[in-house]
Amino acid sequence: MERLSWHQYFMAQSHLLALRSTCTRLMVGATIVRDKRIIAGGYNGAISGGTHCSDEGCYVIDDHCVRTIHAEINALLQCAKFGVATEGAEIYVTHFPCLNCCKALIQAGIKTVYYATDYKNHPYAEELFEQAGVNYEQVELEEMILDLNNKEKLSFTAELLSKLDQLGIETSELQKLKEKANKLYTS
């Protein structure tokens, strides 16, 4: 079995954290890492003990949910709460950070931002990262590597499609099934 890369390991952690999100608009997770060790994690949601968007809906002002604390901020606050330094650390985030999170990450001394998905990437956030010498890089999560039975599933699907071909299924129908299988395994 091929070993999971560090990027995929930490990005998978961020996606796992996002599953705890209570935001109904966008689930985001963030993992702060130093020296290949996780030092904090966060997800977007309401304040501790507060009303969640998943319970009462988002509280939207100027197209932003003001009930939600962003994942990056929650991860930084976890470090602050427990006295863990963030200077020189890296962060893995499921989505490109918003402008406010960008500024907070810079001020916290984060040196590199890895994100999986472009999301309303603000040009000024990119400019600020560059001014501050903060590297940012897209690292998409390769979800198939998290499935330990992936090779067997691919093989089984190929075998089924081959048998359907041998049984004389219409070419156009077989092509549709192949495209559907391809989409299923590559998305």
Catalytic residues: 72
Q: Are 105 and 72 in contact (CB under 8 A)?
A: yes
Strand 112-117 versus strand 135-138 pairing type: parallel
Helical (H) or strand (E) element with 37? strand 37-43
Q: Are 22 and 14 in contact (CB under 8 A)?
A: no
Q: Are 68 and 91 in contact (CB under 8 A)?
A: no
Helical (H) or strand (E) element with 163? helix 150-166
Q: In degrees, to the nearest 5, what angle opens at C-alpha 69 toward C-alphas 32 and 93?
A: 35
